[in-house]
Chain A
Amino acid sequence: MPTLKQAEPNRYSRILGYGSARGDLDVTNHDIAGPIDSSDEWIVQRTGIKTRHRASENLSITDLAVAAAKDALANSGIIGEDLDAVIVATVTHPHATPSLAALVADGVGSKAPAYDISAACAGFCYAVAQADALVKAGTAQNVLVIGVEKLSDFIDNTERTISFLLGDGAGAAVVGPSETPGIGPTVWGSDGANWEAVGMSHSILEIRNRDFVTHPVEEGEKIWPTLRQDGQKVFRWAVWEMAKVAQQALDAAGITAEDLGAFVPHQANMRIIDQMVKTLKLPDTVLVGRNIECAGNTSAASVPLAVDALLDEHPELSGKLALQIGFGAGLVFAAQVVVLP
């Protein structure tokens, strides 16, 4: 029997460049406080969010994803034809099939394998983990990963647990081969026992059947899946369980917090970020991604958007180490240390 030829593995991988695209509207707390009987002061105090980018009707989730992808490709010195895979992490692409990734690949001039993954706010870090593995295995040389959400299509303006936090945007990165280690081991996992802690209010089938156990629907009432969360439960998990995961990612990479240039957690809530920084005892020398203040919580897009914003503001971070961690609906989480491009 002949021996099967194998792809030549790459010893190391790295992130070649990040890119981003934001919603075209700046939505302030004043704009959204009315229907939830709240105020700018209350929202800032509870979440640290002052304004969030949202996309108008004319700016689709595909537009956002393609724009971020082109930005990342340009920053990486790669063209669409050089890509060997395109992975899109999203929970707001309005088609279960076909994938958004196929549209994005086409949008950047690529015929590479393309697929979506559903890992909510951990989606980008999940996608980086996959890209890292594909490159190291030699299955791909250059992989485009994108976290994108148009969450404003799935919110209820009168809902008080999560809708007011949410924004729209896309963040992308290109992962390719490297001479030196550029991506540490990913620490990731799930906790499906807490599946109901955060997610969409209803399934597509419940909407078809108008069969609501928890929210009976009046005749003629407009129905639509929107996001909900058990804020206290999620807060506790996000801070104290995810601080452990962040520490495990540092340990797996063989570094300590002192070695970091930046810490970029999922931009869920400034209070979560502050408490994580405290729990992890990060030194003051570590820059912390905090663009939730103006971007809101953009789920899968939040980590790459925050990294890209930090790199814009602090170009001296290039070549330094960043710990990025995503966590959210599932519950699912993923963290890895990367060398910033």
Chain B
Amino acid sequence: MADQNEILAGLAEIVNEETGVEVEDVQLEKSFTEDLDIDSISMMTIVVNAEEKFGVTIPDEEVKNLKTVGDAVNFIANA
């Protein structure tokens, strides 16, 4: 499994492609909704693209727990 930095970099690319948020603004402590202004539909698109990129499964129920970029990175790292 990729290390945290690789996952963060990959996730930042996905977020950038979906929302236009700058790659360097996608940091571990940032909240998807509060800081990055990502809505629920974009979040789902990011989740599906992350599943494909990292070869993991992120169930619908789990998406609600992914509040920050760090939450998503940790989930992917441990999946």
Residues of chain A with a CB closer than 8 A to B45's CB? 239, 275
Find out whether the CB atom of A231 lies under 8 angstroms from the CB atom of B60. no
Whether, in the assembled complex, B48 has its beta carbon less than 8 Å from a beta carbon of chain A, the answer is yes
Q: Give the interface size bracket for A toward B.
A: 10 to 19
The residue in chain A whose Cβ has the minimal distance to the Cβ of B45 is: A275
Whether, in the assembled complex, A12 has its beta carbon less than 8 Å from a beta carbon of chain B, the answer is no
Residues of chain B with a CB closer than 8 A to A230's CB? 60
Find out whether the CB atom of A232 lies under 8 angstroms from the CB atom of B39. no
Residues of chain A with a CB closer than 8 A to B60's CB? 230, 232-233, 236
The complex places the Cα of A87 from the Cα of B39 at a distance, in Å, of: 39
Find out whether the CB atom of B48 lies under 8 angstroms from the CB atom of A46. no
Find out whether the CB atom of B48 lies under 8 angstroms from the CB atom of A271. no
Given A233-B60, A236-B47, 9 more A-B residue pairs with CB atoms under 8 Å apart are: A230-B60, A231-B40, A232-B41, A235-B40, A235-B41, A236-B44, A236-B60, A269-B41, A275-B45
Cβ-closest 10 pairs across A and B: A233-B60, A271-B41, A235-B44, A236-B44, A232-B44, A232-B40, A235-B41, A240-B48, A232-B63, A232-B60
**Interfacial residues, chain A to chain B (CB-CB below 8 A):** 45-46, 230-233, 235-236, 239-240, 269, 271, 275
25 A-B pairs within 8 Å (CB atoms) are namely A45-B39, A46-B39, A46-B41, A231-B40, A231-B41, A232-B40, A232-B41, A232-B43, A232-B44, A232-B60, A232-B63, A233-B60, A235-B40, A235-B41, A235-B44, A236-B44, A236-B47, A236-B48, A236-B60, A239-B45, A239-B48, A240-B48, A269-B41, A271-B41, A275-B45
